[in-house]
Structure 1
Amino acid sequence: MKRKLYKKLLQHLPKKEFTIVTGARQTGKSTLLHDLKSYCKGEGIPEVFINLENKTLLAELNDNPLNLLAYLPSQEKKTVVFLDEIQYLSDPSNFLKLIYDEFHDKVKIVASGSSAFYIDSKFKDSLAGRKRIFHLLTCDFEDYLMLQGKSNLWEEVIRIKEQPMAKSLKLDLLRLEWEAYMLFGGYPAVITETSIPEKKEMLKEIRDSFIKRDIVESGVQNEAVFYRLFQILASQTGQLVNVNELSNTLKSRNETIQNYLEVMEKCFHLTLIRPFYANIRKELVKMPKGFLLDQGLRNSLLNNFNPINQRFDKGELWEQAVFRLLADKFGLDGIRFWRTADGKEIDFVLPNENPPLAIEAKFDERLAKIKKYQLFINTYPGFNFQFATMQPWSEDFFRRFI
Structure 2
Amino acid sequence: MIARALAPTLLEELQHSNKIIILYGSRQVGKTTLINDLIQKLNYKTLKVNADSGEDLSVLSSRSPEALKRFIGEADLLFIDEAQRITDIGINLKIIHDTMPEKRVIVTGSSSLDLANRISEPLTGRTWTYTLFPISFREWLEHNQISSGLNIAKLEGLMLFGSYPEAITLEGTQRKVQYLNELKQAYLYKDVLALGNIRYPEKLNQLVQLLAYQMGQFVSIQELAKSLKVNRDTINNYIDLLEKGFVLFRLGGFSRNLRKEMTKMNKIYFYDLGVRNAVINDFSPIHLRKDKGSLWENFLIAERKKHLSYTLQFANTYFWNTHTGAEIDYVEEMGGYLNGFEFKWNPKKYRNSYAPWQNAYPESRYQCITPEQVLDFI
* TM-score, structure 1 normalization: 0.87
Which of 330, 333, 347 does residue 351 from structure 1 map onto?
333
Is the Cα–Cα contact under 8 Å of residues 48 and 71 in structure 1 kept in the other structure?
A: no
**1:173-188 correspondence runs (5 A):** 174-188=151-165
Q: What residue in structure 2 maps to residue 310 of structure 1?
A: 288
Q: What residue in structure 1 maps to residue 184 of structure 2?
A: 207
Letter of the 1:33 counterpart:
I
CA distance in structure 1 between the aligned counterparts of 2:134 and 2:78, rounded to whole angstroms: 25
Q: What residue in structure 2 maps to residue 277 of structure 1?
A: 255
Q: What residue in structure 1 maps to residue 236 of structure 2?
A: 258
* Residue 113 (1) aligns with residue 113 (2): no
Is the Cα–Cα contact under 8 Å of residues 344 and 350 in structure 2 kept in the other structure?
A: yes
Letter of the 1:401 counterpart:
F
Q: What residue in structure 2 maps to residue 127 of structure 1?
A: 123
CA distance in structure 2 between the aligned counterparts of 1:12 and 1:89, rounded to whole angstroms: 24
- Secondary structure of 1:279's counterpart equals coil
Greater share of helix residues, 1 or 2?
1
Is the Cα–Cα contact under 8 Å of residues 285 and 341 in structure 1 kept in the other structure?
A: no
* Residue 380 (1) aligns with residue 361 (2): yes
CA distance in structure 2 between the aligned counterparts of 1:355 and 1:333, rounded to whole angstroms: 10
Q: What residue in structure 1 maps to residue 344 of structure 2?
A: 362
User: Structure 1: which 4+ aligned runs deviate by more than 4 Å?
Assistant: none
CA distance in structure 1 between the aligned counterparts of 2:52 and 2:345, rounded to whole angstroms: 44
CA distance in structure 2 between the aligned counterparts of 1:365 and 1:304, rounded to whole angstroms: 24
Is the Cα–Cα contact under 8 Å of residues 40 and 47 in structure 1 kept in the other structure?
A: no
* Residue 3 (1) aligns with residue 1 (2): no
Shift of 1:63: 3.3
Shift of 1:201: 0.9
Q: What residue in structure 1 maps to residue 62 of structure 2?
A: 63
Q: What residue in structure 1 maps to residue 277 of structure 2?
A: 299
Letter of the 2:91 counterpart:
N
Shift of 1:294: 0.4
- Secondary structure of 1:133's counterpart equals strand
Q: What residue in structure 2 maps to residue 243 of structure 1?
A: 221
> Which blocks of at least 5 consecutive residues in structure 1 are unaligned?
161-167, 391-395
Residues 361-382 of structure 1, C-alpha deviations (whole Å, 9 max, x = no match): 2221122122x44211112122
Q: What residue in structure 2 maps to residue 101 of structure 1?
A: 98
RMSD over aligned Cα atoms: 2.0
Letter of the 1:289 counterpart:
K
Q: What residue in structure 2 maps to residue 20 of structure 1?
A: 22
* TM-score, structure 2 normalization: 0.92
CA distance in structure 1 between the aligned counterparts of 2:112 and 2:73, rounded to whole angstroms: 30
- Secondary structure of 1:283's counterpart equals coil
| Identical positions, percent | 31
Is the Cα–Cα contact under 8 Å of residues 59 and 71 in structure 2 kept in the other structure?
A: no
Is the Cα–Cα contact under 8 Å of residues 52 and 58 in structure 1 kept in the other structure?
A: yes
Q: What is the aligned residue count?
A: 370
Q: What residue in structure 2 maps to residue 163 of structure 1?
A: none
Which of 75, 78, 85 does residue 82 from structure 2 map onto?
85
Which of 129, 135, 140 does residue 139 from structure 1 map onto?
135
CA distance in structure 1 between the aligned counterparts of 2:227 and 2:362, rounded to whole angstroms: 40
Residues 282-318 of structure 1, C-alpha deviations (whole Å, 9 max, x = no match): 3251222110110111111111111111111111111
CA distance in structure 2 between the aligned counterparts of 1:51 and 1:214, rounded to whole angstroms: 15
Shift of 1:241: 2.1
Shift of 1:190: 1.2
CA distance in structure 1 between the aligned counterparts of 2:171 and 2:203, rounded to whole angstroms: 34
Letter of the 1:207 counterpart:
K
Q: What residue in structure 1 maps to residue 52 of structure 2?
A: 53
Residues 33-66 of structure 1, C-alpha deviations (whole Å, 9 max, x = no match): 211221222xxx3322111223231123223453
Residues 206-232 of structure 1, C-alpha deviations (whole Å, 9 max, x = no match): 111102312331222111110111111
